[in-house]
């Protein structure tokens, strides 16, 4: 008998979490081996490992406690990886040397798989005087571009996908440029962006008062607060960024506000952290804790919940000692405060099992009660650990009890903390659980509603063929088990697409009250929501105590979410023969299932590229094909007398030409080439620093694309209509998954997630 509730669960385990040899030979022969590996690794730091290993195994068994992906994949493997999910890096100094020291630290952290956050508010604004060098500052966004390129370089080296959060204060002089940065779809792709919104700003918005943009005591510009708020809202309405972080509330509610100030979060926003702050994550699977589901007797087993939470807190505390850290400052910060982020997943499924409609006032009240029970159990478990192992090193009883969430905690818990101390400064956080929720049998993710109760997934087989399988939500499986396979779902079964946005906010606010860090949650909005109603979502989030707000409104820029059931529509006809060019309406971008045939004659240009310190020039020939009356790149040739580069130039030209011949928006080739950094250093060419010879080649290709009308300009998108038309497939659909190619990407907790293969992208 398999432990997996669905085929997709076993596939995710095999792909993401199963320990294998370098050649792919499995070491974990079953999921039980994976649980045993994790339990053994986390018990190893105990004085009596043999006593704790079976208890840890019991918590993991049947997916009741789900450590975050880095712990599940990395614990007990002897690999040089961090088990921590979240890092906020050091404060960026406003000096060139300091900025690039921070860049190095970011690269080292991302190389080990950590997602990072940075506050760029500390860098002087564009145009500010730089004393001693007779120059004006380039501003924080120019350095964000450097971080973005670094992240892409780390990814291209085969590391885990990069994820970064950039924040900027609402009073920084460059805030307007920050707000509009993602309007360019090619810029800052590795970043999530969020504005640090203060209480003073929100009061100015409500009063329609003036707002000063300032840096280092100097006011650069004054505008109306409401105008700036509307710019934030319009950018988010149009292309889903930036998010909003209510930073004063975060600092006021922080249990450690007596020793730290927070100005940034991790990439998905659930973990506000101080400079060099680090936090690990894990989730209690609420869907496994409901007894007698879908009956009158259905209830959450609170005794089992408390027992599971206590064990999970101990396991997570042990991760602090078992993990590696990319930087010594991160290790010191983690061990001084011993932050952990215990959250939940399967909450929406658990509510359904108890007959509650997600988003209703009753469901919100029950959610608040469940989260309070978890908070109590977590704090008391951490107090027990303090009795046994000692409180976190920076614990100060009176200051701690007078700070943050501790001020609203029940008196018996406060008294236990006062008497014995507490092991972990902060204990709760609700993180994205997109992949681990699939691994746990397709339970609902985090505190999100169920996205879809069933959908069809295409699976790539080893022989290259694709098969289809139905993926069913865990709660639906349970309902069918109780009421029969053909039973109609009751009307309290709602999903992310049918909920009103303010119902999402209600659930987030209910959960936030008893979560001492923050929550990763996406508030899905209909495409046709009017702008005023959209702004009301954010104001309601602020007024009801949320620490931040992230929305997703499907549109032409952000793409559509996964469609569960669609009617077939006519695909645009493509004529391809020796006498006619392929024709599509309006010259739109074509994504071909088969590459273009090469005509006998092509129009092209040859460019000479002279790289400093190289004896011979490089000659780059780019040939174009005419499609729909427009020129588009078709093939590339690189030639040089320097035989040192022969092999890689041949490989490069073949790969680029193969991409070009497939059609579509191939401008990403330029992006990727321009982002390559040579570890030996780049060169100055015509007054501009180019990080590598490959970046120089990318620049030549980009210039050619601009001159032939394929691109609007440097760093800009297509000149023709960028609406993708997919040849021979049904439409409309979401964006294509970069991992499996299926058109089933959907927004889950701020991350675009593929329903077909589990690939997730948060940057």
pLDDT for 677? 74
- Residue 623 above 50 pLDDT? yes
- Per-residue CA distances from 446 to 293, 397, 648 (Å): 19, 32, 45
Between 746 and 416, the higher pLDDT residue: 416
Whole-prediction pTM: 0.77
Angle at 11 between CA 5 and CA 13, to 5 degrees: 85
Higher pLDDT, 466 or 503: 503
What is residue 725's predicted lDDT score, i.e. its pLDDT?
35
The pLDDT value recorded for residue 678 is 73
pLDDT in tens, 116-145: 999 999 999 999 988 777 678 999 999 999
Question: Which pLDDT score is estimated for 66?
Answer: 98
Residues that are catalytic: 266, 268, 270
> Helix or strand or coil: residue 177?
helix
DSSP state string for 652-685: HHHHHHHHHHTBS-TTHHHHHHHT---TT--EEE
**What residue ranges in 573-696 does DSSP mark as E strands?**
589-591, 603-609, 618-627, 630-640, 683-685, 688-690
Cβ atoms of residues 745 and 733 within 8 Å: no
Q: Tell me the average pLDDT across 551-559.
A: 76
CA dist., res. 732 & res. 446, Å (int) = 28
446, with CB counted inside 10 A (0-12, 13-18, 19+), is buried
Average pLDDT over residues 349-359: 97
Distance of CA 150 to the CA centre of its chain: 17
Query: Tell me: the pLDDT tens digits for 167-216?
Result: 999 999 999 999 999 888 778 888 999 999 999 999 999 999 999 999 99
Bridge partners of 278? 87
pLDDT of residue 578 exceeding 90 = no
Per-residue tokens: 129? 């005087």
Q: pLDDT tier at 366 (50, 70, 90 boundaries)?
A: very high
Percent with pLDDT over 90 in the chain? 60
Pick the closest to residue 408 from 258, 518, 513 (CA basis): 513
CB atoms within 10 A of CB 27: 12
Q: φ and ψ at 439, to 5 degrees?
A: -60, -30
Domain boundaries, the chain: 7-82+279-420, 86-252, 585-726
Q: What is residue 643's predicted lDDT score, i.e. its pLDDT?
A: 63
Whole-angstrom Cα distance, residue 736 to residue 750? 17
238-289 pLDDT, tens digit per residue, is: 988 999 999 999 999 999 999 999 999 999 999 999 999 999 999 999 999 9
Q: How far is Cα 407 from Cα 417, in angstroms, rounded to an integer?
A: 12
């Amino acid at each position: 008998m398999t432990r997996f509730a669905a085929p997709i669960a076993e596939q995710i385990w095999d792909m993401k979490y199963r320990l294998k040899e370098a050649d792919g030979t499995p070491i974990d022969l079953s999921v039980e081996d994976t649980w045993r590996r994790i339990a053994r690794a986390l018990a190893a730091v105990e004085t009596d490992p043999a006593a704790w290993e079976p208890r840890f195994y019991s918590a993991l068994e049947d997916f009741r406690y789900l450590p975050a992906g880095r712990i599940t994949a990395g614990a007990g493997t002897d690999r040089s990886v961090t088990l921590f999910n979240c890092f906020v890096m050091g404060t960026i100094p406003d000096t060139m040397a300091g900025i690039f020291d921070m860049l190095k630290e970011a690269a080292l952290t991302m190389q080990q798989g950590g997602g990072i956050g940075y506050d760029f508010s500390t860098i002087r604004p564009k145009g500010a005087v730089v004393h001693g060098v007779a120059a004006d500052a380039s501003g924080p966004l120019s350095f964000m571009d450097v971080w973005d390129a670094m992240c892409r370089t780390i990814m291209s080296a085969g590391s885990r996908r990069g994820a970064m959060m950039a924040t900027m204060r609402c009073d920084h002089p460059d805030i307007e440029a920050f707000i509009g940065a993602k309007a360019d779809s090619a810029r800052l792709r590795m970043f999530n962006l969020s504005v640090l919104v203060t209480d003073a700003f929100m009061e100015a918005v409500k009063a329609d008062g003036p707002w000063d943009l300032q840096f280092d005591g100097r006011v650069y510009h004054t505008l109306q607060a409401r105008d700036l708020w509307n710019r934030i809202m319009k950018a988010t309405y149009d292309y889903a960024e930036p998010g909003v972080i209510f930073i004063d509330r975060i600092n006021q509610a922080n249990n450690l506000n007596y020793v730290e100030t927070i100005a940034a979060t991790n990439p998905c926003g659930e973990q506000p952290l101080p400079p060099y702050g680090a936090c690990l994550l894990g989730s209690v699977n609420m869907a496994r804790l409901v007894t007698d589901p879908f009956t009158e007797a259905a209830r959450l087993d609170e005794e089992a919940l408390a027992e599971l939470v206590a064990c999970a807190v101990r396991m997570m505390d042990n991760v602090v000692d078992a993990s590696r850290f990319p930087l010594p400052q991160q290790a010191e910060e983690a061990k001084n405060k011993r932050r952990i982020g215990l959250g939940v997943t399967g909450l929406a499924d658990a509510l359904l099992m108890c007959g509650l409609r997600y988003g209703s006032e009753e469901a919100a009240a029950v959610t608040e009660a469940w989260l309070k029970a978890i908070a109590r159990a977590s704090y008391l478990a951490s107090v027990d650990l303090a009795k046994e192992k000692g409180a976190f090193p920076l614990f100060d009883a009176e200051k701690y009890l007078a700070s943050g969430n501790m001020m609203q905690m029940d008196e018996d818990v406060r008294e236990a903390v006062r008497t014995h101390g507490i092991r972990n400064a902060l204990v709760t956080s609700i993180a994205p659980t997109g992949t681990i929720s699939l691994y746990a049998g397709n339970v609902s993710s985090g505190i999100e509603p169920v996205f879809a109760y069933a959908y069809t997934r295409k699976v790539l087989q080893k022989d290259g063929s694709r098969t289809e399988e139905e993926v069913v939500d865990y709660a639906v499986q349970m309902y069918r088990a109780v009421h029969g396979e053909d039973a109609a779902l009751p009307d309290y079964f709602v999903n992310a697409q049918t909920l009103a946005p303010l119902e999402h906010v209600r659930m987030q606010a209910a959960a936030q009250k008893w979560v001492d860090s923050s929550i990763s949650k996406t508030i899905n909005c209909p495409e046709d929501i009017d702008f005023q109603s959209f702004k009301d979502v954010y104001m309601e989030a602020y007024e009801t105590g949320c620490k931040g707000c992230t929305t997703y409104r499907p549109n032409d820029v952000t793409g559509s979410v996964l469609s569960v059931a669609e009617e077939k529509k006519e695909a645009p006809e493509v004529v391809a023969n020796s006498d006619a060019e392929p024709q599509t309406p309006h010259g739109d971008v074509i994504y071909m299932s088969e590459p273009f045939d090469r005509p006998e004659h092509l129009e092209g240009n040859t460019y000479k590229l002279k790289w400093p310190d190289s004896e011979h020039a490089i000659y780059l020939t780019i040939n174009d094909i005419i499609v729909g009356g427009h020129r588009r790149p078709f093939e590339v040739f690189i030639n040089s007398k320097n035989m040192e580069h022969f092999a890689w130039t041949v490989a490069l030209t073949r790969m680029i030409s193969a991409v070009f011949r497939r059609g579509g928006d191939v401008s990403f080739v330029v992006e990727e080439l321009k982002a390559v950094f040579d570890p030996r250093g780049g060169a100055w060419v015509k007054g501009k620093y180019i990080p590598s010879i490959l970046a120089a080649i990318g620049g030549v290709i980009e210039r050619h694309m601009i001159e032939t009308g394929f691109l609007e300009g440097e760093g800009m998108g297509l000149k023709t209509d960028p609406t993708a038309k997919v040849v021979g497939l049904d439409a409309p659909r979401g964006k294509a998954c970069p991992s499996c190619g299926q058109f089933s990407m959907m927004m889950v907790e701020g991350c675009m997630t593929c329903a077909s293969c589990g690939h997730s992208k948060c940057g």
